Amino acid sequence: MFSKDNCYLVAASPELRARFLHTKELLQAGDELPDVATIDVLDLRTFSLISSRRKRIHTTTGELAPVVGTRRALVLLVDFSDNKATQNQQHYADMLFSSSNDGTVSLKDFYWEASYHKLTVTGEVSGQGGATNGWYRAPRPYSYYTNNDFGTGFYPQNSQKLVEDLVDLADPFVNFANYDNDGDGIVDALFIVHAGSGAEVTGDKNNIWSHKWEISPKTVDGVKVQSYSIEPEDGKIGVFCHELGHVFGLPDLYDTDYSSSGTGDWDLMAAGSWNNGGQTPAHPTAYCKVKLGWVKPVTIFNSQQNVTIKPYATNDGQIYKLPIKDINSKEYFLLSNRQKKGFDGYLLGEGLIIEHIDENKTGNTNDTHYLVDIEQCDGKLDLNKGANRGDANDPFPCGMNSSFTANTTPSSKAYDGSDSEIAIAEIKRKGDNITVDIKSGVLQAPKIPVAR
């Protein structure tokens, strides 16, 4: 019943990713390596291991049930005889479930804003007297669960066993049935917070790498505990928001082998979870918001002039969809206006973001053909090349480029190289708004008169 399938690992922190890439360059160039103590946590085998585990996960979203209304989550705090916690329980109640009017920015605030007030995340934090009051003490040492393998090795010496042990500890104090939001008999959102730091920051195989995974279904209080996400004691809300995105059904949109950057800092489900040191994560991409049922995109047919697109983070989710050649095509473009507002306040730039979607793909590991690709205005393809995690010249317009057609760089051509018959011109900034002229080769189906 235990496997490494469906294990979603959070992206490495920007600092750790940079250290890894530097080491990779030294190894490939045959240059002198850092001392053994430094290279131990940064060698290619370590990151190849992490990458291979990500490649085994199921990355496609398919069709998701709308994630709206109120979702109640449970947070269990756990420390260890060899890794004792220092943070107090109230810290997590504030960071995850408080409202912004009390001066704390929380996960609840993030999803309230990102969903355009369609989703409220509430919950409780539970623990019992570990090193700090309010933490459960695991029955085995931390080293048992990490097993020099990021806590994602083979059962039972991994995080799955930790979750099983923790559910047993919490059972006398928690009614797990309260966290089955949809009445399907399964706990929907279980956060595990472990003492210490996460391997996604330290690179240390003796730390747990934050992830979303599953245990063999365990029945307590008449419901099954199966899926969970696990985060570190010192984690910021970006890691928690990213992992909850997986709980809701979203895929990773960074390149899991680190040969490119995927959607980069523009996206919660990529490096955007680390914006402002993880304290102000970016909104999810337009693709993700549509999938979660937060926005119904406006489909453009024929040609429309002077279309006004309002800011993405502060209005009711203006997203425009341009199907390629056929209204039912799985390949299409999504347009949104990203401004440095709200949780998007730490974006790299502002303007029109054009997402090239191909739902025939399952993730962002193919540098030349992503599930979700950011069409970068400057045409340098820095995200695809892994040269950066995005920059101010990704949104349109930039420099002298204010168009996106079959003859521009980047090009509006379909992935098969054919003309998509889509052209976006006269891309202009008007205050916080963006205006565009759009030409689409997809004709709107004529309305069929209803027989009376």
The amino acid present at 285, given as its one-letter code, is T
Report the distance separating Cα 428 and Cα 297, nearest Å: 21
Identify each DSSP E strand in 112-248 by its residue range: 119-126, 136-137, 190-194, 211-220, 223-232
pLDDT surpasses 50 at 37: no
State both tokens at 291. Answer: 């999938």
Give the mean model confidence (pLDDT) for residues 33-44.
42
Report the distance separating Cα 375 and Cα 364, nearest Å: 14
Share of residues in the chain with pLDDT > 90 (%): 66
> b/e for 26-49, b at 16 or more Cβ within 10 A?
eeeeeeeeeeeeeeebbbeebbeb
Pairing of strands 136-137, 119-126: unpaired
Q: What are phi and psi of 229, to 5 degrees?
A: -125, 150
Q: Select the more confidently predicted residue: 55 or 28.
A: 28
Q: Tens digits of per-residue pLDDT, 249-306?
A: 998 898 776 778 899 999 999 999 999 999 999 999 999 999 999 999 999 988 899 9
- C-beta neighbour count of 263 within 10 angstroms: 31
- C-beta neighbour count of 94 within 10 angstroms: 16
State both tokens at 224. Answer: 């099954």
> b/e for 430-439, b at 16 or more Cβ within 10 A?
eeeebbbbbb
β-strand partners of 425: 437
Question: Residue 208 has what pLDDT?
Answer: 95
Cα separations in angstroms, 417 against 321, 328, 336, 411, 413: 20, 19, 24, 10, 6
Pairing of strands 190-194, 69-79: parallel
Give the mean model confidence (pLDDT) for residues 199-219.
91
The amino acid present at 349, given as its one-letter code, is G
pLDDT surpasses 50 at 3: no
Q: Tens digits of per-residue pLDDT, 107-130?
A: 999 999 999 999 999 999 998 765
**Can you give the residue ranges of every domain in the chain?**
69-249, 294-440
* Cis check: omega of the bond before 156, within 30 degrees of 0: yes
What is the rounded average pLDDT for all residues in the chain? 86
Share of residues in the chain with pLDDT > 70 (%): 81
Lowest mean pLDDT among 95-104, 132-141, 157-166, 168-177: 95-104
Give the mean model confidence (pLDDT) for residues 148-177.
95
pTM here?
0.87
Residues 6+ apart with CB under 8 A from 423: 403, 404, 405, 406, 412, 438, 439
Give the rounded distance of the alpha carbon of 118 from its chain centre: 19
